[in-house]
Amino acid sequence: MFAPPNKDKISTQIMRQIKDAVMQGKLKPGQSLPQEKDMAAEFGVSKHTLREALRSLETLGLITIRRGAGGGPVVSEIDWTTARDYFSSFLYFQKFTLANISEVRKLVEPYIARKAAEHITRENFEELRAAHEACVKAFHSNRNVVRSETEVRFHVLLGKYAANPFLWVMLDFVNNMLADAKHKLKPGKDFSAKVIEAHQRILDAIESRDSEAAARVMYDHICEVEEGLNLLEK
């Protein structure tokens, strides 16, 4: 399955080969990798070099190294939460701004709202309504809304209903990044009230199957959120 790597950055090349085998389905979640001594022989490297590559893969969440008798490296189920956290950490070092987040949202979310208005099923609409009602309930109980999982869920569900995994992943990532920004800026209850009102307008447009209104209201909502957070950031 594996080939001896070139001499330059050997552990990195080993890591890449194992990662490629996972991504190509040659190694599946839950499957144990060969014994350490067998992999070292197949790669033509020392156990120390192999272990360096395996530790890196474990850090990335691609494998789990089980300890003790019968243990060893096992392919992990790729976890989106872990992947999102790693990507978030990368972007924090790029010094992203609220404007960057809003730009992506303006490009993607109105399209998704339009698509939802055209194609959403009754079952999915009721799920979306339930997410909104959970936010309303939290608001009236004086609990935080705009930094909560329920508020993020409203937008992520719309991404899920687009039936495009790339859009869903993007919405999940961007809105969780936005939730982190809100956590730092701590917008007040007036801000929460505006968010809830906007979500209701989006719901109404989707339920009416008015795709243009859904896209417009979503765009206005994103602009309103951006404006409100910019005022807090100053």
What are the tens digits of pLDDT across the range 21-71? 887 888 888 899 998 899 999 999 999 999 999 998 888 778 888 887 777
pLDDT, position 202: 98
Host domain of residue 203 = 96-233
126 and 201 share a domain? yes
102 and 194 share a domain? yes
Q: Output the CA torsion 95→57→156→216 (10° steps).
A: 40
> Domain containing 62 — which CATH number?
1.10.10.10
102 and 204 share a domain? yes
Exposure of 24 in the CB half-sphere (CA atoms within 13 A): 8
pLDDT, position 209: 96
Q: In angstroms, how far is the first alpha carbon of the chain from the final one?
A: 56
103 and 191 share a domain? yes
176-183 mean pLDDT: 84
pLDDT, position 205: 98
The per-residue pLDDT for range 117-151, each reduced to its tens digit, is 999 999 999 999 999 999 999 888 887 776 667 78
pLDDT, position 8: 58
200-216 mean pLDDT: 97
pLDDT, position 97: 86
For the chain, what is the domain count? 2
Q: Which of 103-112, 162-171, 211-220 has the lowest mean pLDDT?
A: 162-171
Highest mean pLDDT among 86-90, 91-95, 97-101, 109-113: 109-113
201-216 mean pLDDT: 97
Domain end point (choices 27, 45, 75) = 75
> Of residues 227 and 148, which shows the higher confidence score?
227
The per-residue pLDDT for range 165-177, each reduced to its tens digit, is 888 888 888 888 8
> For the chain, what is the mean pLDDT?
87
180 and 65 share a domain? no
Token readout for 166 is 């790339």
130 and 68 share a domain? no
The radius of gyration computed from the CA coordinates of the chain, to the nearest angstrom, equals 23
Whether 119 maps to a domain, the answer reads yes
Token readout for 6 is 């070139």
